């Protein structure tokens, strides 16, 4: 319910027009992205330094979680190894899209999801740009090994966590600005004065 000039009579502040919400959400997105990206980069540097040349995986939690070094030229699960350059271009485009969407974010969960997605995309893109065999063709460093699962890295975890958050928000009908889809449909069906 709204009063004159759009003021909410119900105290609902999820309209997304509050500049401080936008600033907080953007700062949260940036904080999540920078922190997760740094963890990914550092974990890959340490993995290369500590795991290079090891024939056997290093147990962390028995056989449930082990560390091993794998250089992946392809996409998830080692697929698409012949498309490394295309994957690099796609990752760069995805990063730009996330940055464009970040301008509209006002929802805390969307900020976390997009921050994690940006970190994951940039983490793997950094490998593709800077690692051997060369720019746009670099192999992504993976190191975490679970039973019956392909080897993965922190960036992969970020991308999957982001996908989960984004799906939850979509199913809940929460937009980037924190408003609900149902609120917009109700507003569109109300006659104007």
**Catalytic residue, candidates 156, 177, 183, 187:** 156
Q: What is the dihedral of CA 154, 159, 164, 170, to 10 degrees?
A: 150
| Cis preceding linkage at 133, omega within 30 | yes
Q: Give catalytic status of residue 156 as yes or no.
A: yes
Dump strand ranges (E) for the chain.
Answer: 58-61, 65-72, 140-145
Cα 53 from Cα 153, distance rounded (Å)? 18
DSSP 15-45: TS--HHHHHHHHHHHHHHHHHHHHHHHHHHH
Cα 26 from Cα 20, distance rounded (Å)? 10
Q: Is 143 within 8 Å of 42 (Cβ atoms)?
A: no
**Catalytic residue, candidates 12, 18, 40, 142:** 142
Q: Crossing angle, helix 19-51 and helix 108-130, to 10 degrees?
A: 40
- Of 136, 147, 158, which is closest to residue 41 (Cα–Cα)? 158
Q: Give catalytic status of residue 142 as yes or no.
A: yes
CA distances from 71 to 32, 52, 161, 164 (A): 26, 11, 22, 26
Residues belonging to the active site? 142, 156
């Amino acid at each position: 319910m709204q009063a004159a000039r759009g003021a909410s009579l119900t105290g609902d502040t999820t309209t997304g027009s509050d500049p401080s919400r936008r600033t907080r959400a953007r700062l949260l997105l940036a904080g999540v992205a920078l922190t997760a990206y740094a963890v990914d980069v550092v974990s890959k540097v340490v993995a290369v330094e500590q795991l290079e040349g090891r024939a056997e995986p290093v147990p962390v939690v028995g056989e449930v979680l082990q560390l091993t070094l794998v250089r992946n030229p392809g996409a998830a699960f080692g697929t698409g190894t012949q498309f490394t350059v295309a994957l690099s271009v796609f990752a760069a485009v995805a990063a730009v899209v996330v940055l464009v969407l970040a301008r509209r974010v006002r929802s805390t969960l969307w900020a976390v999801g997009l921050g994690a997605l940006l970190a994951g995309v940039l983490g793997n893109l950094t490998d593709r740009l800077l690692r051997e065999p060369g720019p746009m063709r670099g192999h992504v460093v993976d190191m975490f090994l679970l039973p019956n699962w392909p080897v993965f890295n922190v960036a992969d975890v970020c991308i999957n966590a982001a996908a989960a958050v984004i799906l939850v928000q979509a199913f809940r009908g929460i937009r980037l600005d924190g408003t609900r889809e149902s609120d917009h449909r109700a507003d569109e069906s109300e006659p104007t004065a």
